[in-house]
Chains A and B, each alone.
Chain A
Amino acid sequence: HTHIYTVEQVKLLDRFSNKSVTGTLHLTATHLIFVESNSTSAQEIWILHHHIASVEKLSLTTSGCPLLIQCRNFRLVHFVIPRERDCHDIYSSLLRLLRPVSYDELYAFSYNPKQNDQEREEGWQLIDLAAEFERMGVPCDQWQLTDVNREYKVCKTYPRDLYVPITASKPIIVGSSKFRSKGRFPVLTYFYQEKKAAVCRCSQPLSGFSARCLEDEHMLQAISKANHNSRYIYVMDTRPKLNALANRAAGKGYENEDNYSNIRFQFVGIENIHVMRGSLQKLLEVVGTRSLSMTDYLVGLENSGWLRHIKAIMDAAIFLAKAVTVEGASVLVHCSDGWDRTAQVCALGSLLMDPYYRTIKGFMVLIEKDWISFGHKFADRCDQLDPDPKEVSPIFTQFLECVWQLTEQFPQAFEFSEWFLIQIHEHVHSCQFGNFLGNSQRQREDLQLKERTYSLWAHLLSEKQNYLNPLFSPSVAESHPVLEPSTQAYHFKFWRNMYNQYDRSMHPRQSILKHVLTLQESKRELEGTVQALKTKLQKFGVSTSPLKPQTPPRERSLPPRPQSLILGAPLLSRKEVQQEEDKEVFGEEAREDAPASTGGERTVEGSSATENGYGELMGSFGSKNEPGVVTLEFGVARMTC
């Protein structure tokens, strides 16, 4: 890393208490790094420039110049820099670094995980969408691959390979694409083999108040005919009816049931990107409030509307899954341009129908198909380059949250745990890997991403064991392939581990998930060792009768907890854990597995009193950690030494 700047004696403030730590701030070409100077606990915070959403310089205080940094992964850091000069320098350098003007400046193009070209290529070959369609049973007697978009001539934002009904000829396709916003004509995205029912996606028709297009009508007819199970297809417009009506005035709109034979038209009412952006902003404001009361929290949660939007997406996906699996009908999904709400509903609906998408590999395939290849505008939505604030919106985050809500309802149905979702979210914004760069496949090819960057999926698969859900049961998937989630309001919960993921004081101190994972991991290791020893023993001609333990059992330490809440950190081996413990117990937050013999503060990790907000007492703690006498006046405690 090219070092640009170093400032000593910088304070890092906790956002929920008055606690602070002092350390050194380094600015490099790619990261902002804070290293705590306290040598015993010495936490390091690495912030990728791409993760930074905004930098704010607050007005000078007696202790220095405050710098407030908000990140897209919901981290919020508050530095106080002693000299204003330094603060200003960091601030202006960051502003410059935050606004990359060309793709070449993104981290992905300089990131090198020490892999050779072949390994990189293999990484990119992990996900193969042609193979995925084959898995679904396409091409088949009713659906075929079309080369109409081979040169991106019909639709710039679609992938090259598209699947359409056998009966849809090229003129029909081209005609239909001209009648659809951005040329995004109806194509296959998921095929439910059991009932030969298809899930198709497109953008809104350019119908205005009365326009019609025979080719488009033929196209829908062809989709309908490709499914002998049902005489009609559903057309789901995922927008609220009012929005669709308003679009008619601009020459767009929705399908007129009179013009299309055998369609059943349905609005499902998911709000647009601007509403979602505003909603998330409100949500983050609420959950970032200091000494938040329960009432303000619940009222704020309600007023943000966030969970209502999540439920709307879920409702739409459930409608889709039911139509396909129960009625055996094909469904065509669209919104305005067919790359936001449509992607959400198609992807989530497929996930409900097909257990494969609930595995780690399958989930990658699903994202690659419905989001990346079909042109969800990651660059615009996630603010990668030259941002237009009006284009930014947490559409993909909502999808990840819907999946999380499902993992909560069906603890055994998913191969992955929430850490997998959170890690994906992290990298959608990190621009460290090539997968999510740009807005469309065509753009990605122009950027030569496969030659110049690495694939996230290979990276995630290499640390797969960190993302496993120990409760996953493939047999449950076999007996209940289609998930039927309940949409009762109380099932929709706030995702604390996402939106407050960096606020460590808030998280449960012990995790069943990690505990069970560790048990399984060590079991595997031990079994391996036992096997190896047995074979060795046999070599010596010793019979392998079970030995009784000769030493009394020791106190066993609790499973290791990775330092980062992004539990992407690999499970530590026992030896490392021991070192970790030795290092950490002297810090202010003793770990849950601190050996009782050491003299560390005897509280469980992260739950040191100052962080928990027991009201007034914590409100006025200074930064001093030494135990002192508490004096109280009018019920307010203060620390004195």
Chain B
Amino acid sequence: MELSEHIKTANVEDVTLRRPFHPALRGTLCVTSHHLLFSDRKDEASWQLLILLKNIDAIEKRAVGSSGTITIKCKDLLVLQLEIPGMEECLNIASSIEALSSLESVTEMYPFFYRPSHLTLNGPWGLSSTEQYYKQTERLWDRWRVSTVNSDYSVCPSYPSAVIVPREVDDDKLIHSARFRQGGRFPVLSYCHHRNGMVIMRSSQPLTGANKKRCKEDELLLQAVIDGSELGYIIDLRSAQQAQQARMTGGGFESKSFYSHWKRIHRHHERGKVVQESLIKLVEACSDPSHSVDRWLSKLENSKWLSHVHSALSTAGLVVECVERDGHSVLVHGSEGTDNTLLVSSLAQLILDPASRTVTGFLCLLEREWIQAGHPFQQRCAHSAYSHARLKQECPIFLLLLDCVWQVWRQFPLALEFSEALLLRLAQEVYASNYGTFLCNSEQERCAAGVKENTHCLFQSLLRPDIEEQYLNPLYEPTDLAIWPSVHPQSLQLWTGLFLRWTEYAQNMEEAREEVWSIVKEHHEQAGPDRTNNTLSTHCDTLTSFENLMDELTIL
């Protein structure tokens, strides 16, 4: 069926649009295959609202006399109301939105139709590949290699075609290890610490099962990681009890007797539905302005969202502690190794690695650790906080990552090159986007659907100089140090920028931010056209030479 067949009424005049904290507007409403367009059709300065249908999470219809009201709840948490004259038009529009906002086929989605004039489809897609990353990272060359054992995605369907593994482990061993790991996700390198060469590995759980099966190749693979005599840590993102229970269903954990050089630490992390429900509860609490302080605190607590933030940052801190302070390598996994595993390993890198705190570095990190590493975006982000649809595989783990990054930014406002605006943009794009970056669940699927040939890459577009500027942190001053966030509950806060984005709260904060910008800019300008970050020292140097000159003059 053609997409346009879903559209029974394409245009309605005299529609009233209501948004929070804005006066109501009258205008024309238009439904296309991928968008909802509202235009107030004033002669001059006409105002338009364009919403991707994919961004719509839920709609509610209500009849008022002969006209109808549609409430649109978006995945970026915006809530709109449309008053449509004529019941039939209203129902038609509603059913079009319902059908077109829940398309299942990837190639029908908007990124396959988005063709802006300033972008071309030729040229490389994405920022980097495994091979490129390896080439750029000299410290890996000695002990690590790129394996293409998964080039046809047969060893592990959710891994990219190339992965980084210990040099001394051959592809055959990898294949055996993959059979011993859920979904074939055998241990691969995630990060190698620039200061001591210690690594963070990630994988899925081993399939030891009830009979305590073992796999020699898997053991050798991990042995090769820590090079014999040392000690490594396995951070298991389940409680010890959950890990035990997993054996009943064929999963399990690395037993001490077979992995004698590895110490296991269990950290319980919620996953799947529980986290999705947290988001739903939190958003619900944020959207009811009538709460008393007590009720608000109780709802905030009840949502458990901040508890998830707390555990994610704590475990990331634990990983960093092992790698940076104690000098040990770490293997992180939970069950599938596609959700919390990625959350923890990427947060640890943000804390450890100054390179991942620049705009480019951060986007590369997301590309490597989330897109290529096979986080199932399409399943996880099918719905957001408002949907009434029965939950399937939805889980806002990526949103949780962005929240954790925001918390780090709050505590180290000078250490990240990007600003909150980038995080907010990503939070929006991951649910509905013009770009192909977050489509599909794995590299294999992206290949099959032709994503790289037929869509534009979000990250590339964010890095265009004119765009990137909006996402820069004016206060950025690079630091080489690890930035350990405090994880006391008192140090963590609700991410108001996201969850209260559409309330009046945002405005004063926005003004203050602009003020900071202007103060800092003034400084940059004084530094001269080169706009260096080292404004003050430049000044000092200028003055020193001035002073030297003065001294000479005085002597003369």
Tally of B interface residues using CB under 8 Å: 96
Whether B56 sits at the interface, judged by CB under 8 Å, is no
**Contact status of A512 and B487, CB under 8 A, knowing A293-B307, A549-B538, A550-B545:** no
Distance (whole angstroms) from the CB of B228 to the closest CB of chain A = 16
**Contact status of A411 and B508, CB under 8 A, knowing A556-B533, A612-B317:** yes
Whether B453 sits at the interface, judged by CB under 8 Å, is no
Across the interface, A602 reaches (CB within 8 A) one of B195, B298, B413, B475, namely: B195
CB pair A558 B479 closer than 8 Å? yes
Distance (whole angstroms) from the CB of A604 to the closest CB of chain B = 5
What DSSP secondary structure best describes chain B's contact surface?
A: helix
CB pair B491 A556 closer than 8 Å? no
Whether A360 sits at the interface, judged by CB under 8 Å, is no
Across the interface, B481 reaches (CB within 8 A) one of A311, A505, A594, namely: A594
CB nearest neighbor in B for A533: B546
List A398-438 residues whose CB lies under 8 Å from chain B. Answer: 409-412
List B510-529 residues whose CB lies under 8 Å from chain A. Answer: 511-512, 515-516, 519-520, 522-523, 526
Q: How far is the CA of A302 from the CA of B295 in the complex (A)?
A: 8
Q: How far is the CA of A574 from the CA of B479 in the complex (A)?
A: 19
Q: How far is the CA of A617 from the CA of B532 in the complex (A)?
A: 41
CB pair A522 B412 closer than 8 Å? no
Q: How far is the CA of A596 from the CA of B354 in the complex (A)?
A: 13
CB pair A520 B519 closer than 8 Å? yes
List A497-513 residues whose CB lies under 8 Å from chain B. Answer: 500, 503, 505-512
Q: How far is the CA of A299 from the CA of B297 in the complex (A)?
A: 7
Distance (whole angstroms) from the CB of A237 to the closest CB of chain B = 21
CB nearest neighbor in B for A497: B490
**Contact status of A489 and B536, CB under 8 A, knowing A509-B412, A547-B546, A629-B326:** no
**Contact status of A632 and B415, CB under 8 A, knowing A411-B508, A473-B515, A515-B475:** no
CB nearest neighbor in B for A472: B515
Binds B, one of A250-258, A333-341, A443-451, A535-543: A535-543
CB pair A410 B508 closer than 8 Å? yes
CB pair B294 A506 closer than 8 Å? no
Q: How far is the CA of A603 from the CA of B293 in the complex (A)?
A: 37
Listed residue (A292, A294, A616) with the most chain B CB atoms within 10 angstroms of its CB = A294
CB pair A298 B297 closer than 8 Å? yes
A542 CB contacts on chain B under 8 angstroms: 553
Distance (whole angstroms) from the CB of A418 to the closest CB of chain B = 14
CB nearest neighbor in A for B328: A630
Whether A152 sits at the interface, judged by CB under 8 Å, is no
Across the interface, A490 reaches (CB within 8 A) one of B286, B483, B545, B547, namely: B286
CB pair A592 B481 closer than 8 Å? yes
Whether B249 sits at the interface, judged by CB under 8 Å, is no
Binds B, one of A56-64, A344-352, A523-531: A523-531
Q: How far is the CA of A222 from the CA of B179 in the complex (A)?
A: 91
B504 CB contacts on chain A under 8 angstroms: 486
**Contact status of A507 and B491, CB under 8 A, knowing A412-B512, A607-B485:** yes
Whether B300 sits at the interface, judged by CB under 8 Å, is yes
List A536-571 residues whose CB lies under 8 Å from chain B. Answer: 536-537, 540, 542, 547-551, 553-556, 558
A609 CB contacts on chain B under 8 angstroms: 317, 320-321, 325, 484
CB pair A295 B307 closer than 8 Å? yes
Distance (whole angstroms) from the CB of B89 to the closest CB of chain A = 36
Q: How far is the CA of A307 from the CA of B298 in the complex (A)?
A: 12
CB pair A305 B412 closer than 8 Å? no
Whether A493 sits at the interface, judged by CB under 8 Å, is yes
Whether B542 sits at the interface, judged by CB under 8 Å, is yes
Q: How far is the CA of A590 from the CA of B483 in the complex (A)?
A: 11
B310 CB contacts on chain A under 8 angstroms: 293-294
CB pair A409 B489 closer than 8 Å? no
CB nearest neighbor in A for B325: A609
**Contact status of A294 and B541, CB under 8 A, knowing A515-B475, A553-B534:** no
A287 CB contacts on chain B under 8 angstroms: 490
**Contact status of A540 and B553, CB under 8 A, knowing A515-B475, A629-B231:** yes
Q: How far is the CA of A505 from the CA of B486 in the complex (A)?
A: 7
Whether B424 sits at the interface, judged by CB under 8 Å, is no
CB pair A293 B489 closer than 8 Å? yes
Q: How far is the CA of A604 from the CA of B30 in the complex (A)?
A: 54
Q: How far is the CA of A596 from the CA of B195 in the complex (A)?
A: 13
Whether A100 sits at the interface, judged by CB under 8 Å, is no
Q: How far is the CA of A635 from the CA of B262 in the complex (A)?
A: 12
Across the interface, A511 reaches (CB within 8 A) one of B231, B413, B496, B534, namely: B413
CB pair B519 A607 closer than 8 Å? no
CB pair B414 A558 closer than 8 Å? yes
Whether B392 sits at the interface, judged by CB under 8 Å, is no
Contact with B along A602-621 (1 / 0, CB 8 A): 11101111011111110000
Across the interface, A554 reaches (CB within 8 A) one of B266, B520, B541, namely: B541
List A480-494 residues whose CB lies under 8 Å from chain B. Answer: 486, 488-494
Whether A516 sits at the interface, judged by CB under 8 Å, is yes
Across the interface, B314 reaches (CB within 8 A) one of A295, A554, A613, namely: A613
A550 CB contacts on chain B under 8 angstroms: 541, 545
A608 CB contacts on chain B under 8 angstroms: 484
List B317-344 residues whose CB lies under 8 Å from chain A. Answer: 317-318, 320-322, 324-328
Whether B259 sits at the interface, judged by CB under 8 Å, is no
CB pair B537 A556 closer than 8 Å? yes
Contact with A along B459-500 (1 / 0, CB 8 A): 000000000000000010101111111111111111010001
Distance (whole angstroms) from the CB of B318 to the closest CB of chain A = 5
Q: How far is the CA of A297 from the CA of B491 in the complex (A)?
A: 11
Whether A496 sits at the interface, judged by CB under 8 Å, is yes
B273 CB contacts on chain A under 8 angstroms: none
CB pair A603 B481 closer than 8 Å? yes
CB nearest neighbor in B for A518: B536
Contact with A along B534-556 (1 / 0, CB 8 A): 11111111111111001001000
CB pair B294 A537 closer than 8 Å? no
> Can you name 22 A-B pairs with beta carbons within 8 Å?
A297-B490, A412-B512, A412-B515, A473-B515, A486-B505, A489-B296, A492-B293, A503-B488, A508-B486, A510-B415, A512-B516, A549-B545, A555-B537, A556-B533, A602-B481, A604-B415, A609-B317, A609-B325, A614-B318, A614-B321, A615-B314, A617-B318
Interface residues of B (CB under 8 A from A): 195, 231, 233, 240, 263-267, 286, 289, 291-298, 300-301, 304, 306-307, 309-310, 314-315, 317-318, 320-322, 324-328, 410-415, 475, 477, 479-494, 496, 500, 503-505, 508-509, 511-512, 515-516, 519-520, 522-523, 526, 532-547, 550, 553
Starting from the known contacts A491-B505, A613-B487, A635-B240, 7 additional A-B residue pairs (CB-CB under 8 Å) come to A294-B309, A295-B301, A311-B293, A549-B541, A556-B477, A604-B484, A635-B265
